[in-house]
Structure 1
């Protein structure tokens, strides 16, 4: 109500009235032209017609030339006199007739399209810079609908909890109004003025109004293709596309050429369709382009793009609208959608304050998601369709029902049914919606393991998650109890871990844990319990080396801003050695027996009982960090620069009877370099050492993340064939490096038949060096994206420069070998 009063007051105080022009845009057969562009000639105002061709445009009194335009149709102009009354203006567009009369193509001669494209490529950078400084208003509407879906998915009933059993349903619907500003060379910012998500009054629609700019060489589409897609007028486009001239047409005394775009090869990141280029100025007039699975597109089956440009003044052309049509068929789900973006109120001479552009790329204004329905009805340039109106009404009503405590209780009863599959394989989740609490119970398959120290192990764990804010999921408290029993040595262990996360603008977290528990000598847990069980029982290779300790630990972290993060920890351990207590095997391996329960590479006997008090602090910095800023928090978007980190760890002597006395340091740098068509290069380099090493126990050595199991460890910071403790050390200086290149189809998409699988080549190298001239390295080559989940590698290991073996490794997306 307050907002409505303010709007009315401003309306009368301004002394300026506005009238609405409305109507339909249809073709010659009376069929609606969805998302046709309607705008004022050489003016800033514009809108887009809906799916049914209906549009509406608010203008102050005066005389205007209104233009209606749709890709593939001849544009139409209407002179109108706007007063203070509503005005109805309809448009009937005819299919754009192209002419080939003036073009003579001789046999064997080059198609005229190539000369046009070459000219467009020459002018590409000029037109790119033409829209490098502007400000405009953007309205975006996104919707995604289901056409079909399976009754069950992964054994679970598919239930959208909306009471609607029909196959056709709206999955997502949102609207956003924003101010989009750009300044050379690479500054941009989006201020979200209002945003709305159907059925979720507290949500923020994450719509980015960025123009899909075909004047760029590559169209970056995160999640669709890591290499990016090549523009039909990119600098190297002639290497990838064939072109066909299909004629030209005249529009406002400007000749426009229609060019068919044809990929030279399948399974390259290329577009298909049509691009319209103006004669002489060689600008993009409009385009209709599509991507398919054969374009190396991930997730989606097809993506159709339409864009329409128009002159704003005698010099510049601006984009009027952009429409994306995605479709996806996956695991029995069949869905389609649209994302319509309307650009208006362009200011090509926008004056920005000195500090307007900063590290915030998108900012949601306070109250931007709290606008009432009548506000949206008054400013929406694109009319809602009947199914969208229905979705808003249905989901908004359902949202109110879901706030009822009785409904939340009934929802919990439905969701909280416990099944044998969950208990054994997936775990169980019990939610308490009224309290914003969730209880998780880990599955038994992850709770039972075997090692030579404890024998069969029952490691029961779960968690309790308490959210403090219904809109900020980052603000929460997590409590995780853990009870562990070894049936062979009879030891009962347990710990309790607590973690609080503030979820504020500068995220802050505090962690506390303590109890009596078992630790690997490398506390980073390089050996996973699941794979170690099979290695131990089937091959008599007991890689996991354990000790027991009473311990207490506190961790603290805080984002300091501008990509700078601080972490600190203090830990006390009262350590005790453990011995093997079980010699159970499922299959005896000739001339192989279990090794003692300590790292035999660096120890000849079990360690002595001792105490250790450890204090550490670290900083990490990623320059140029970008953010999305919400009213109560920020979300990091990463940066094009590498992450630099440094850490110090001190073993404190005598305090609380601590027996350790050392100081070690570590510094590192890592980054993911997107090389577009050439793939992605990932690297991680670090160095460190002991500045003081008067009393260092084996758990406090510098350990490297080795691996002797068939399941790969994390590739970016691990070795895949290194013995776990062979190079553990207390040297004054050490260094390690990891380099990996994801080719993302650079080579595999050229192999007939094989390229249809979309399996990608990957290769890399790992190396370490110690003071004293000790060194180790390995090379590997593999295939990834196998069935979207698997990766396999062959690893060649070199110890002290000598070849020491070749090993097979595999990984499953989201699962690596280490970690307990």
Structure 2
């Protein structure tokens, strides 16, 4: 028996030792100056095999014995083809790349002195949509690698890094082999076949393939060079071209007209006559001052230029935390299904430089079946044609029963064996050798994890849901159950501390510590929330909140149960709590605390109510949604119980908790009473589309108006009916973002509200700090102009790329943004207009505004406001 076992082990060893012998090609790629060429693309011709060099210029391709022709491609260099014979062992082939010989060939631009780049770009832009649609579907296998390194962090964050076993200076690597498929118009399925990383144990991230489609007009708010609006944002310069595999490639320099955030600069290479992208190299800075470099190389696959390699580098320095990251992808095994309807190559006639030819071409009749087979088409004809063809496609999809409202459909899955593949799998699949830095990073991380193995095990036990004393101070979220890939934990319990809540960063600046007001004195509050996810689409939650007033020695609170999914939700709530007269809470409690204690200004006015309510929300389609609620309220008046303030101003005193109001002649005190409030809201998004992520639908309503109809009615001790209409939108205008909101309404029927909380309120501000929110006035009294009559309010804001501070390029790149805004309020009692200027981005979170107010046509005042926040 022992002899048999020994023989079997020898056989297994012999088998694996033989199969592990792999032939191939490896080497280093440099230029004529001896500099390494990182991420050079390598293709094995007449096969589906492809790879790229690593950051050190080293490459490796595993091949069976035979003769192969390799193609080496690098942006700005001549394509190099080499015939190499491979045996049972690796062959070392070092490669020297020659810079592309750029020739300034004459390009016909008519009688104009215009740079030749402009006609090239106009023709490429006119063909961009056809190149986006010429491949009906494709599939591929991708290698994706992300690396990051923390260079420096502030002292306060070093403890958090150490706790998560992240070391400053160590290079962390995440690699993935993914299978991806695409189908028009934008359906993507991606699966991670294998994942390998040196990230700390317990972290299981997955990395997906980034589709950088340069043919689209915009990318995450950045206007791209092939957008029809590109000439408003960029200057183009022809820098010559070179010949590659019988094709002439033009090099165009792209320069933003105004340097700043969310515009790119660099070079784009365009295949002449085909007007296809050959490659590009761009850089830009986002609104947080993070610097990006993008590079992508295309290759001819089945007669279509397809991206085969991408590289993104990121460098960030925020609040003393400095880091860098790199993301690279290599694509192989492309399988394309070409749509012959769009895959045609007409001669594009530029009307601007060849007017006579364009006039002749325009006389020809075209139709969608034969248009692209014609030899010549004008840019205008191409635009009209693409719209007609896409309309036909949409009609055909609709007839086939497809949901044409879906704009994006993306699914990402991780193979169950993705993190269990043996190293031999990676030897065959990676095809990109690790750099010395990455190998060192793997070793450093492994050493750290082994040295801290016992501690990591203890920490993993500690990380299980259990109570710790520090949670009482800072709050905490407890996660229960096993977290599925790309999903939330199945059950969570969240506790917000009444002391210094770090569990809810959305409110950390103003609303996360104890408060003070003249009615309740010192206030502490807490919230607890349990959430259970029934499945991917639906969940239910139970939430409770408590609020304790030391001055009143009184405890308030409430309870809410809700259940819902993406399409509809239901909630029921009840409690006894404190509310501002304006239900929009125009003054944050933290701001009121500061104003009361420091400046003896108690602007926040509150009352108490016992309530029970039921609410139902329904989204019928992405275009139409509806909500309705019914609530019972018993309302109690509250009065000041303290006049405490840190400073006593002789010419100033704290005010009553009864707000001032013109219509009520400041008689806003009310008796205890009961009210039934029924409210309904209908929202219409006429141009909304749907997106799907892993089977879940979500709303896409970019740059489209939203119309809302609200109705509110009161019964019991109150009797009124209110109807309100509003429209809001946000879009790019004058090279910046323009945003507006118009809202108007009236109270109808024989009776109107008697009590202030039922009036129509307008979000005002009387403090030095401007709250976040678009529909806020800057200098308006909180309740003085609240009304029961007809009203109209409007807000508009325009971001200006170059105004005052943004005239300086360094400040624009730093992240300073400036805007002009106008606010207007029209009621039967008054007309108020605000005109202002603001900037933000100082230290990333600070901003300031100066505002002038006019009332009934007369100047009233000019004031200043500070902004604190990231938005």
TM over 0.5: yes
1:68 matched to 2:72? The reply is: yes
User: Which whole-Å CA distance do the structure 1 matches of 2:159 and 2:599 have between them?
Assistant: 41
Q: CA deviation at 1:681?
A: 0.8
Could you report, residue by residue, the CA deviation over 1:413-465 in whole angstroms, capped at 9, with x for unpaired residues? Answer: 9994629xx94xxx3336466774343313368554333333x22x2222334
Residue 40 of structure 2 aligns with which residue? Answer: 36
Residue 675 of structure 2 aligns with which residue? Answer: 612
8 Å Cα contact 2:302-2:336 kept in structure 1: no
Residue 808 of structure 1 aligns with which residue? Answer: 864
Within 5 Å, give how 1:289-304 maps onto structure 2: 289-291=282-284, 296-299=285-288, 301-304=290-293
1:323 matched to 2:321? The reply is: no
Structure 2 vs 1, CA of residues 544 and 505 (structure 1 numbering), >3 Å: closer, same or farther? closer
User: Which whole-Å CA distance do the structure 2 matches of 1:39 and 1:356 have between them?
Assistant: 39
Q: CA deviation at 1:723?
A: 1.4
1:464 matched to 2:528? The reply is: yes
Residue 481 of structure 1 aligns with which residue? Answer: 545
8 Å Cα contact 1:131-1:318 kept in structure 2: no
8 Å Cα contact 1:651-1:661 kept in structure 2: yes
SS at match of 1:131: helix
Q: CA deviation at 1:492?
A: 0.9
Indicate which of 489, 494, 498 corresponds to 2:560: 498
Structure 2 vs 1, CA of residues 79 and 734 (structure 1 numbering), >3 Å: closer, same or farther? same
1:571 matched to 2:639? The reply is: no
SS at match of 2:188: strand
**Alignment root-mean-square deviation, CA:** 4.8
Could you report, residue by residue, the CA deviation over 1:343-377 in whole angstroms, capped at 9, with x for unpaired residues? Answer: 73233228996427542513216766775654986
8 Å Cα contact 2:41-2:309 kept in structure 1: yes
Could you report, residue by residue, the CA deviation over 1:599-654 in whole angstroms, capped at 9, with x for unpaired residues? Answer: 2312425212110111222232434545553446444454332222222222233x
Could you report, residue by residue, the CA deviation over 1:240-291 in whole angstroms, capped at 9, with x for unpaired residues? Answer: 547474x654322334455666667754755454444445656543333333
User: Which whole-Å CA distance do the structure 2 matches of 1:379 and 1:349 have between them?
Assistant: 34
User: Which whole-Å CA distance do the structure 1 matches of 2:704 and 2:207 have between them?
Assistant: 24
Q: CA deviation at 1:475?
A: 4.3
1:508 matched to 2:512? The reply is: no
Residue 763 of structure 1 aligns with which residue? Answer: 820
Residue 462 of structure 2 aligns with which residue? Answer: 410
1:345 matched to 2:335? The reply is: yes
8 Å Cα contact 2:281-2:296 kept in structure 1: yes
TM-score after normalising by structure 1:
0.77
Indicate which of 700, 709, 712 corresponds to 1:646: 709
8 Å Cα contact 1:147-1:167 kept in structure 2: yes
Residue 127 of structure 2 aligns with which residue? Answer: 126
Within 5 Å, give how 1:379-398 maps onto structure 2: 383=432, 385=434, 387=438
Mean Cα deviation higher: 712-721 or 171-180: 171-180
8 Å Cα contact 1:749-1:758 kept in structure 2: no
User: Which whole-Å CA distance do the structure 2 matches of 1:308 and 1:687 have between them?
Assistant: 53
Unaligned runs of 5+ in 1: 1-19, 105-111, 654-658, 816-820
1:786 matched to 2:842? The reply is: yes
Within 5 Å, give how 1:150-549 maps onto structure 2: 150=153, 152-153=155-156, 157-159=159-161, 161-163=163-165, 165=167, 167-170=169-172, 176-182=178-184, 187-194=185-192, 205=206, 207=208, 209-213=210-214, 219-220=218-219, 222=220, 228=222, 231=225, 240-241=234-235, 243=237, 245=239, 248-258=241-251, 267=260, 271-278=264-271, 283-291=276-284, 296-299=285-288, 301-312=290-301, 316-330=304-318, 331-340=320-329, 342=331, 344-349=334-339, 354=400, 355=402, 358-359=405-406, 361-364=408-411, 373-374=420-421, 383=432, 385=434, 387=438, 408-411=460-463, 416=468, 418=470, 423=473, 427-429=474-476, 431=478, 436-443=492-499, 446-454=512-520, 456-457=521-522, 459-468=523-532, 475=539, 477-487=541-551, 490=552, 492-500=554-562, 502=564, 504-506=565-567, 508=569, 510-515=571-576, 517-549=577-609
8 Å Cα contact 1:706-1:718 kept in structure 2: yes
User: Which whole-Å CA distance do the structure 2 matches of 1:660 and 1:238 have between them?
Assistant: 56
User: Which whole-Å CA distance do the structure 2 matches of 1:598 and 1:614 have between them?
Assistant: 22
TM-score after normalising by structure 2:
0.73
Structure 2 vs 1, CA of residues 493 and 158 (structure 1 numbering), >3 Å: closer, same or farther? closer
SS at match of 1:158: helix
Structure 2 vs 1, CA of residues 345 and 333 (structure 1 numbering), >3 Å: closer, same or farther? same
Unaligned runs of 5+ in 2: 1-21, 107-112, 342-392, 482-490, 501-510
Structure 2 vs 1, CA of residues 759 and 650 (structure 1 numbering), >3 Å: closer, same or farther? same
Within 5 Å, give how 1:104-123 maps onto structure 2: 114-116=115-117, 118-123=119-124
User: Which whole-Å CA distance do the structure 1 matches of 2:409 and 2:694 have between them?
Assistant: 11
